[in-house]
Structure 1
Amino acid sequence: MNFVQPIRDPDVIEEIELFLKEKNERDYILFLLGIYTGLRISDILSLKVKDLKDKKYLVINEKKTRRKKNNGRSIELNPILKKALKKYLKDRPNHEYVIKSRVGNNKSITRERAYMILREVANEFDIDSLACHSMRKTLGFHLYQQTKDIVLVQKTLNHEDSSYTLRYIGIEQDTVNSKIATLKYY
């Protein structure tokens, strides 16, 4: 599997949102949940309507970090995400999955389907390194760009080490690349 990257260009993010909103509202909500909560795809796919409908906060025990101490987190929902969720969840029953599959009776889409949705986006926008984790990395990257607070990003992504977070969101490599690009020997 290739190393995936965040979506660095805000204009591309906006274009992807518009593309998905026109194509399929469920896929649009999937993307918004990814870039505005920073949750892993497994956690997004496990969400039910009752977890988000008319809520200011999403309270979640992340699957990957479930065994760690103090795992239960409360994530304030971004106003853009809240507005989209209000419309999307309006008439949906509480027991239903948010990212519901069209196949079966009240099942979430699979991780594979989520990956295929993002690969369609990657093909549409000619992005090489886009996959499910790109949404999470996108939140981390832009949060860092706007705040320059790596500890905040580390806590948001529920990482244990800030040096890992810098590598994870691509900042370390961006810094190396920019320094090499400006290197002069004489």
Structure 2
Amino acid sequence: MRYDLDFCNSFDKTLLFWIERFVRNKLTTLSNSNVNDKDKLASIIQSLVKGTNSIDELKVLVKEARNIGLSGINTYFNPLLKLYKFLKNLGLASMKEIDEELLSDFLASETSGLSDATKKNHRIALLALFSYIDKQNENLDGNSYLFKIELKNWGGLRGNSGSKLPAYMNKEEINKFLYAIDTFEFSSETIYRNRLIIKMIIYTGIRVSEILNLKIKDIYKEEDIYILQVKGKGNKPRVAMIKSKIIEIDLQNWLSQRLCNNDLLVCNKKGNRLTQAYVSRIVEQILISAGIRKEKNGAHMLRHSFATLLYQKHHDLILVQEALGHADINTSRIYTHFDKDRLRATTNLMN
């Protein structure tokens, strides 16, 4: 069903309506392979069909969707939440007042100081929203109003988008971090689970979402190795390995007290999927206890540290690509920038 572009009498309500419709569309088109509560997803979609009363109410629904496994929705919604607040303050009367220049102003003011990768996500979210509206609006004579937003000339990106070098730990910092994992004072209910999660990430480089969606049947032992059958982005399968001595004690102790739904390997006190935000908070707490400070202290930094160390040790880009589950080897190429031994040769150029 299509709707008039200015569907409501109020601009704020109209903009909320279109963002809400777009979010509903993304929830039904994003991969649902990691969703751990189908009834909850159905309830969220039904709430969107009925409509929300405020952007904050929509924000709650998006958070609930993220917590049950649709983590990708935040890539779209967070920039649109900022856009809603930005446009609301301008006192616009019609959606037709939004144009390329106005959106460029939004990107320039709201993404200042952010990484190129995050800026790129903001641009993608805007393009996706207005492309959706182009296809879904229709006036009384059957014609559609087309925004045709491209944002090709927006100058906020420095060179190739997303090319900023990621934060990572060097070998000495990794050793301090590993020691801190075993000495950090977790509660008796979470100590084995949290140690298991963090160790599996730092020793294998798997994504936080991948371990949170890991099932009991996806981990098994062969001799002195635990093999993890991981489902990465796009439901793409791969294998990760970790020496059993690293996680054996934590794994067995956690399994003895584990009460998880949906056959999840790890879960919260209610048996449901943990959130990525929770894991990142744990990582940050351990880093602080170890006296390690980085530009970004979240759990994803552990993946970058693993990949960096892996490349420095083996100088094998294919190995890095396979270990991290990158679809394109050019994504893995970023870690060659940390090869100090190779770059040291440049110091002899003028000798």
Question: Could you list the runs of 5+ residues in structure 2 that have no partner in the other structure?
Answer: 1-113, 116-164
Q: Scaled by the length of structure 2, what TM-score is found?
A: 0.43
Distance 1:38 1:21 in 2: 19
Query: Identity over aligned residues, as a percent?
Result: 19
1:5 aligns with 2:167: yes
Count how many residue pairs are aligned between Structure 1 and Structure 2. 176
Q: Aligned partner of 1:60: which letter?
A: V
- Across the aligned residues of Structure 1 and Structure 2, the Cα RMSD in angstroms comes to 3.2
Deviation at 1:156, TM superposition (A): 1.2
Deviation at 1:83, TM superposition (A): 2.5
Distance 1:49 1:92 in 2: 14
Q: Secondary structure at the match of 1:91?
A: helix
Deviation at 1:43, TM superposition (A): 0.9
Distance 1:93 1:99 in 2: 8
1:101 aligns with 2:262: no
Q: Scaled by the length of structure 1, what TM-score is found?
A: 0.74
Distance 1:151 1:128 in 2: 27
Match of 1:142 in 2: 309
Task: Pick from 53, 65, 76 the counterpart of residue 234 of structure 2.
Answer: 65
Match of 2:281 in 1: 116
Q: Aligned partner of 2:169: which letter?
A: I
Task: Pick from 194, 207, 216 the counterpart of residue 40 of structure 1.
Answer: 207
Q: Aligned partner of 2:231: which letter?
A: N
Question: Could you list the runs of 5+ residues in structure 1 that have no partner in the other structure?
Answer: none
1:140-172 Cα distance to aligned partner (Å, 9 max, x none): 1121122111111111112233332121x3x31
Deviation at 1:137, TM superposition (A): 1.4
1:9-56 Cα distance to aligned partner (Å, 9 max, x none): 2x3223222222232333221211111222111111112344336563
1:163-183 Cα distance to aligned partner (Å, 9 max, x none): 32121x3x31565xx569948
Task: Pick from 313, 318, 323 the counterpart of residue 156 of structure 1.
Answer: 323
Distance 2:346 2:292 in 1: 24
Q: Secondary structure at the match of 1:141?
A: helix
CA contact (8 A) 2:199 2:247 kept: no
Give structure 1 regions of 4+ aligned residues with deviation exceeding 6 angstroms.
183-186
Distance 2:344 2:221 in 1: 47
Q: Which has the higher contact order (CA 8 A, sep 6+)?
A: 1
Deviation at 1:99, TM superposition (A): 3.4
- Higher gyration radius (CA): 2
Report 1:73-92 matches (<5 A): 73-92=238-257
